Structure 1
Amino acid sequence: MPTLLQNCKRYFGSLDLYTVLGVRRTAGEAEIRRGYHKISLQVHPDRVSDEEKEEANLKFQILGKVYSVLSDKEQKAVYDEQGIVDEESDAISQDRNWEEYWRLLFKKITVEDIQAYEEKYRGSEEERADIIQAYLDFEGDMDNLMDSVIFADIDNEPRIREIIQKAIKKKEVPAHNAFVKESKKKQEQRRKRANEEAQEAEEMKKEMGLGDQEDDLKALIHKKQKSREKELDGFMAQLEAKYCNKGGKKATGTKKGKK
């Protein structure tokens, strides 16, 4: 029977567990959790055709085992130090119901949950940490930053820029040219693009008679551009992973750790 690492290589193209989840080797618990959720959503058996279900089930199980290893301190330490996985451990037992395990990790959230979380998130230390991290990751590129940070819309850009400017002034982050020397023209283009997308979305909602529930929003984005549906799935994955703890309840702490 193939080992976990062999299956990772065969089905995900890499022997590295971190690469399989699309996260850094230095990733903390929250980033690993978000990576698992995002990738597992892409291969979830409920999202593929009947012909693809057998392979999707196998990939889903593999991802569950990868996450189990990286979320267990002892197994993660062994893997990080030696590059091996204990195939006999309870964490990756063949008898585990991986679908049930996934459901326990990620509670399905509602639009009301999102709205409540947005109110709590904006202006919080968690949001500030996310903004600063995105600024560092994208070396000051505001287009990518605004696409990356949840709930970052064009109306909040002045506030977001102020957060970054204060961090630069305190020497918490470097003054990347992409940020400090960004032209007014680029800023105006970003605002114009955001306004056009918002107007188009509103018009299409009316045309299609859609409401504000998640399925309706997905249908709208799917109608507009198929790739945008994936962007929303990625956003929902990120939000659900941040919003829920391992027991499936709403998280109450601050961040430990895209559309």
Structure 2
Amino acid sequence: MGLLEQCEQLFSTSSLYEVLGVEKGASDAEVRRGYYKLSLQVHPDRAPGDQQATTKFQVLGKVYAVLSDKEQRAVYDEQGIVDEESDSVDPDRDWEEHWRRLFPKITLQDIMDFEKQYKDSDEELQDLKRLYLLHEGDMDRIMDSALCCEHDDEPRVREILQRAVEAEDVPAFKAFTHENVKKKANRKRKAKKEQQEAEEMRKEMGLDAEDSLVAMIQQRQKSKEKGFNSLIADLEAKYCKKPSAGKKGAKK
């Protein structure tokens, strides 16, 4: 399966830009930030044993590899195709090693600090509106994708989106304005089950939630996309390092 097909299957869009949540004319820095934000959500360290998360992580790496390469990005922009034979999208590439070269290891305190800055910020508002449009008001998918959101955040997220609808910043999708009560209840049950499973896994692994980043992520219902998007804007040199120049595969 090609990269564009994988994107459609895993992220409900074949647009590489939409996958990373950036505009077509986004700068290199904006593309890196988009990649960083989304890859944090599905990083193997944060979803141990989750094969779909691992696959998403690999696909995000490929998307970034294409958009961060001037020549490949130009071809994609002009023709809408990806060179599947390029080394940069090699399925056997070590995407974890690639990610580590780009971004240093983060700490629990880093994540907590980011969350405080992100929640109720203009950046969160723009991200939520983007997700609302992408998923046409489907709260199941919005809450699954929203950054720094747990089930307890749903009333706050819904209020933010409701204000956006009333202000006509986004259309009034029926899936949002007339959501089925049963669907809301199912979402609540799912969140409770995930919380219980995460706590059981934490205990089985003998992890201390105070000392382990993995345990914290598990205990908090697989918190979405914890990262430094706001901090990266100020610490670009540190958190958005470009990989050292390497040999590119010959295009055929």
What TM-score, normalized to structure 2? 0.58
How much has 1:209 moved relative to structure 2?
1.9
C-alpha distance 25-187 of structure 1, shift in aligned 2 (>3 A): same
Aligned length: 198
Please tell me whether the aligned partners of residues 106 and 241 of structure 1 are also in contact (alpha carbons under 8 angstroms): no
Paired residue for 1:66? 66
After superposition, what is the alpha-carbon deviation per residue over 1:149-197, rounded to whole angstroms, capped at 9, x for unaligned?
1111111111111111111111111000100010222112211211222
> In structure 2, what residue type is equivalent to 1:68?
S
Gapped regions of structure 2 (runs ≥ 5): 6-14, 45-58, 82-94, 241-252
Paired residue for 2:123? 126
C-alpha distance 134-125 of structure 1, shift in aligned 2 (>3 A): same
List structure 1 segments (4+ residues) > 6 angstroms apart after TM superposition: 39-44, 61-64, 98-101
How much has 1:122 moved relative to structure 2?
0.9
Distance 1:41 1:123 in 2: 19
Paired residue for 2:111? 114
Secondary structure of the structure 2 residue equivalent to 1:248: helix
C-alpha distance 120-207 of structure 1, shift in aligned 2 (>3 A): same
Paired residue for 2:31? 32
Distance 1:64 1:146 in 2: 24
Spell out the pairing of 1:20-169 with structure 2 (5 A cutoff).
22-23=19-20, 26=24, 28-29=26-27, 32-34=31-33, 36-37=35-36, 66-70=66-70, 80=77, 105-169=102-166
- RMSD value, Cα: 4.6
Distance 1:192 1:42 in 2: 22
Gapped regions of structure 1 (runs ≥ 5): 1-8, 45-58, 85-97, 222-227, 251-259
Secondary structure of the structure 1 residue equivalent to 2:156: helix
> In structure 2, what residue type is equivalent to 1:134?
L
* Identical residues among aligned pairs (%): 39
Distance 1:41 1:177 in 2: 28
Of 201, 206, 211, 1:209 maps to: 206
C-alpha distance 136-65 of structure 1, shift in aligned 2 (>3 A): closer
User: Looking at CA atoms only, which structure, 1 or 2, has the larger radius of gyration?
Assistant: 1
Greater percentage in helix: 1
Of 197, 200, 207, 1:200 maps to: 197
What TM-score, normalized to structure 1? 0.57
Distance 2:125 2:183 in 1: 23
C-alpha distance 194-247 of structure 1, shift in aligned 2 (>3 A): same
C-alpha distance 214-174 of structure 1, shift in aligned 2 (>3 A): same
